[in-house]
Amino acid sequence: MASQTMGNWQCVKTLKGHTAKVNSVAIHPNNKTLVSGSNDRQVNLWNLQTGKCLYIFSGQAEAVLSVAIIAIHPDGKIVASSSQEGIIKLWNFQTGALLATISGFSPLVFSLDGTMLISGDQGGTIKIWQLDSSDNLPLIGEWWEILGVEPKTHPKDVKLAYLRLAKLYHPDINSSVSAKTAMQAVNQAYQKFQQQLKTHKTHN
């Protein structure tokens, strides 16, 4: 097989704006903009031609680990970011508005048709989220999947997971369009856990 050389690579532009380590970058399908996630807790949108930061997606609680772009439509509509505390946020690409918040870790990847978001998990599992629409992203699955724990997790740790999510999705804190639905899902999941725990104690 004949060898092929790539030639010399040259840095043609340096983007400055983050104040800490940049963990991840993703190029938008329009090939004109770039999204970056950093330890400075910011998700930035850049113009690739000018190198200027167009705006910052605000509201990420902890250091951002991964950023992905969803292309529901050819121009791309949603930016997803994940944080160290296990929170994934979905943003409107054009306005920077927060669309939804779900529980999960990096890495993140969208399906080619934009209908699913796949995320990693610290428990050694992979979560698949069905995205029916950009405005309706409810938490679905078994109670332990929704709360982000294992089925045999200690009750105290389950409660801590519930309180973390309840604080995350509470309407007074989270004004995203899906917060109410997510809060209902979290409450129902914790209620199912409590019922299971009560049944287990009764049988013992």
pLDDT in tens, 29-39: 888 999 888 88
- Both 31 and 118 in one domain: the answer is yes
Parent domain of 71: 18-131
- Both 159 and 105 in one domain: the answer is no
Residue 47's pLDDT band (boundaries 50, 70, 90)? Answer: very high
Position 11 in a domain: no
Position 173 in a domain: yes
Which H or E run contains 191?
A: helix 179-203
- Both 174 and 76 in one domain: the answer is no
Count the Cβ atoms, other than its own, within 10 Å of residue 177. 17
Amino acid at 73: H
Look at residue 193 in the predicted model and tell me its pLDDT: 93
- Both 116 and 197 in one domain: the answer is no
Looking at 83-148, list the stretches that DSSP marks H as alpha helix, in order from N- to C-terminal side.
143-147
**What percent of the chain shows pLDDT beyond 70?**
80
The answer to whether the pTM exceeds 0.85 is no
- Both 44 and 120 in one domain: the answer is yes
187: which residues sit within 8 A by CB, 6+ positions away? 166
> E-assigned strands of 58-171?
64-70, 78-83, 87-92, 98-103, 105-110, 116-120, 126-130
- Both 173 and 123 in one domain: the answer is no
Overall size of the chain counted in residues: 204
Cα separation, 152 vs 58, in Å, equals 36
